[in-house]
Amino acid sequence: MTLERDDIFDATIFALEHGDGAEEVIELLTESIQQPQMPVFSKIAHLYLISDILHNSSLPIQNAWKYRSG
């Protein structure tokens, strides 16, 4: 994933539409950010993604709320 707005948008939409797998998405994001070999720009992109997911988790999308508890 890059810092491009479209990449983060697409990943956010994917995550919210697949809220039934929120636990797995949360686990993947937290594990990826903790990897020491991951470039800083990728970590920043993942943090933007996490921020967008949390910001939009109150939308009336099935299971989107699960991201808040995770």
At 59-69, the pLDDT tens digits run 898 899 999 98
C-alpha span between 7 and 66 (Å, rounded): 22
Q: pTM of the prediction?
A: 0.88
User: Alpha-carbon torsion 43, 2, 55, 29, what sign?
Assistant: negative
The span from the CA of 56 to the CA of 37, in Å, is: 29
Give per-residue pLDDT as tens, 22-50.
999 999 999 999 999 999 999 999 999 99
Domains contained in the chain, number: 1
Q: Quick count: other Cβ atoms within 10 Å of Cβ 10? A: 13
Residue 20: which domain range?
Answer: 5-69
